[in-house]
Amino acid sequence: LMNAYVNIKNINKVEEIYSTVQHDPTVDCNITTYNTLMNAYAKKENINKVEEIYNTIQNDPKVDFDITTYNTLMNAYVRNKRISDATLLLDKLILSKQKIDCFTFGPLLNYYQYRRKKEEFYDTWNLMVNKLAIRPNKFLLGLKNQVDNFY
């Protein structure tokens, strides 16, 4: 249900459901609940709330991060033009050997392509494809094709 409200960008209903879940002793928040809430705030470009939920997950011993959590945080950083935070997160994920995929790289690659930052795009692309052996999806292949044709 929360996802439906995220998709129609009704953050008030998302917050209402989350508040209800938080105050119901028979229901525990799980990673899906937290990821959905983070996604809602990311879409509203409210990075402070995204980071607040991320910190809540860190402090909840019953919940572990998953790849969606990191991808959502990465997306939120890029949406809020906090590229240095996004690259720091990516470095942290790689160093800690967290499971990441092409969706983890997508927001940064999209940002670099849109801003015509060819060198940063290729550095990130080569990290993903050559060093980490992560296969790009069709969308990222399309971005690369566009960057290849910049000059």
pLDDT by position in tens, the chain (length 151)? 666 666 666 677 777 777 777 667 777 778 888 888 888 888 888 899 999 999 989 998 888 889 999 999 999 999 999 999 999 999 999 999 988 999 999 999 999 999 999 999 999 999 999 999 999 999 999 999 999 998 6
pLDDT of the residue at 2: 62
pLDDT of the residue at 30: 82
Structure tokens at 133: 């052996």
What would the 3-class secondary structure string for the chain be?
CHHHHHHCCCHHHHHHHHHHHHCCCCCCCCHHHHHHHHHHHHHCCCHHHHHHHHHHHHCCCCCCCCHHHHHHHHHHHHHCCCHHHHHHHHHHHHHCCCCCCHHHHHHHHHHHHHCCCHHHHHHHHHHHHHHCCCCCCHHHHHHHHHHHCCC
How many CB atoms sit inside 10 A of residue 135's CB? Answer: 10
pLDDT tens digits, one per residue of 89-113 = 999 999 999 889 999 999 999 999 9
pLDDT of the residue at 62: 86
pLDDT of the residue at 64: 87
Displacement of CA 103 from its chain's centroid (Å):
8
Instruction: Please give the model's pTM, rounded to 2 decimal places.
Output: 0.83
pLDDT of the residue at 41: 86
pLDDT of the residue at 141: 97
Rounded Cα–Cα distance for residues 4 and 22 (Å): 19
Degrees to nearest 5, angle at CA 131 with 126 and 145: 25
